[in-house]
Amino acid sequence: MLAALLGLTSLMACAEGEPIAAAVGGAAGSAAGSGGAAGGDTGGTGGGDTGGAGGALDDAGDAGDAAPTGACQCDDPSCGACPSTKSVAAGGYGIDAVEVTNEAYATWLLTQPKPKLQSGACAGNESYVPSQGWPAPDGKLPVTHVDFCDAQAYCRWARRRVCGKIGGGANAYADFAESSKSQWHHACTAGGLRDYPYGASYAGGTCNGADFGKGAPVAAGTAAGCEGGYPSLRDMSGNVWEWEDSCDATTGKSDLCRIRGGSFSQSGPALACASDSSLARGDSGKSVGFRCCE
């Protein structure tokens, strides 16, 4: 059933006139900041490492949390049912318990979302179809090969948003490790109390990083010990990187936006909540996904 759903998604996207995006190569970013995370797993065809990027102090980003005029939102007529993903209370807002899955993303694509409705820094995004590996064979895995604008459009359809600033809008690029400002960092650290979602120090093999031994994403939420900073919050460390609404500019595809939490190929400090990495807004890769916040 899922294979049929995913296959139909691809056909419908093409019928809509949305070409399947070519793989985007090369991660962007220079090593700097608190975590210094680096991994060669986020490039499309080009490989490349993702490094932390620092310096910009502005509150740049797409600060609008609302869906564009005319865009479908879940539970509206002909717009599909809202995702069943559990929302975890994180001290004043909600955050998805797990990363968005291939199955959930495919359900959204069936609504034939229109990239032409995007504006601002995402106006140049021509397709929401993942840049590689689609249709995906396993619906329970986190969706990957999606860029920042894809993640933003999905979350808006789901009546949520890419995790950004507590209280609304984009989080300032320099404030990625501020638990009083960043929704993602606040949730990962239990309000600033932990360095890793599960505790104060690295525990190899707890989450799906290099020491877990899988070498690839696992089904969202299935790494049994990888829970925290709040109860039922899963995979905030490892599995796949997660886009954050925290970018250094609003010019378009080349803006650097934060990716959080590390992936299946990282270990140690690279899997800490404060790991400092970013990727160009228009880039994607085999280890980059996302979750949504409220």
205-228 confidence digits (pLDDT tens): 999 999 999 999 999 999 999 999
Position 61 confidence tier, pLDDT thresholds 50, 70, 90: very low
Position 283 confidence tier, pLDDT thresholds 50, 70, 90: very high
Tell whether the model's pLDDT for residue 60 goes beyond 70: no
Position 82 confidence tier, pLDDT thresholds 50, 70, 90: very high
Task: With beta carbons less than 8 A apart as the criterion, state whether 272 and 237 touch.
Answer: yes
Position 40 confidence tier, pLDDT thresholds 50, 70, 90: very low
Task: With beta carbons less than 8 A apart as the criterion, state whether 231 and 201 touch.
Answer: no
pLDDT for 50 equals: 39
pLDDT for 284 equals: 98
d(CA 122, CA 105) in angstroms, rounded, equals 19
Position 165 confidence tier, pLDDT thresholds 50, 70, 90: very high
How many angstroms separate the most distant Cα atoms in the chain? 50
- Pairing mode of beta strands 288-289, 241-247: parallel
In the chain, the percentage of residues whose pLDDT exceeds 90 is 76
More confident position, 14 or 271? 271
Position 65 confidence tier, pLDDT thresholds 50, 70, 90: confident
- Count of C-beta atoms within a 10 Å radius of residue 59: 17
Task: With beta carbons less than 8 A apart as the criterion, state whether 241 and 289 touch.
Answer: yes
CA nearest neighbour of 21 among 108, 120, 124, 101 = 124
What pLDDT, in 10s, does the model give residues 169-189? 999 999 999 999 999 999 999
- Here the tokens at position 60 are 């740049």
Average pLDDT (119-131) is 97
What pLDDT, in 10s, does the model give residues 239-251? 999 999 999 999 9
Provide the domain limits for residue 84.
1-294
CA nearest neighbour of 186 among 203, 205, 202, 167 = 167
The single residue listed with the structure tokens 């500019």 is: 249
Tell whether the model's pLDDT for residue 7 goes beyond 80: no
Angstrom CA distances, 129 to 25, 86, 165, stand at: 16, 24, 27
Tell whether the model's pLDDT for residue 30 goes beyond 50: no
What is the average pLDDT value for the chain, to the nearest integer? 84
Q: What is the pTM of this model?
A: 0.82
d(CA 224, CA 291) in angstroms, rounded, equals 19
- Here the tokens at position 275 are 């790991």
Angstrom CA distances, 227 to 120, 144, 194, 221, 251, stand at: 36, 21, 12, 9, 36
pLDDT for 138 equals: 98
User: Does 64 sit behind a cis peptide bond, omega within 30 degrees of 0 on the bond before it?
Assistant: no
For the domain that residue 158 is a member of, what is the CATH number?
3.90.1580
Instruction: Count how many domains the chain has.
Output: 1
The single residue listed with the structure tokens 């539970």 is: 75
pLDDT for 66 equals: 85
- Count of C-beta atoms within a 10 Å radius of residue 22: 11
DSSP state of 173: G
d(CA 205, CA 238) in angstroms, rounded, equals 10
Average pLDDT (127-135) is 97
Tell whether the model's pLDDT for residue 58 goes beyond 70: no
pLDDT for 22 equals: 29
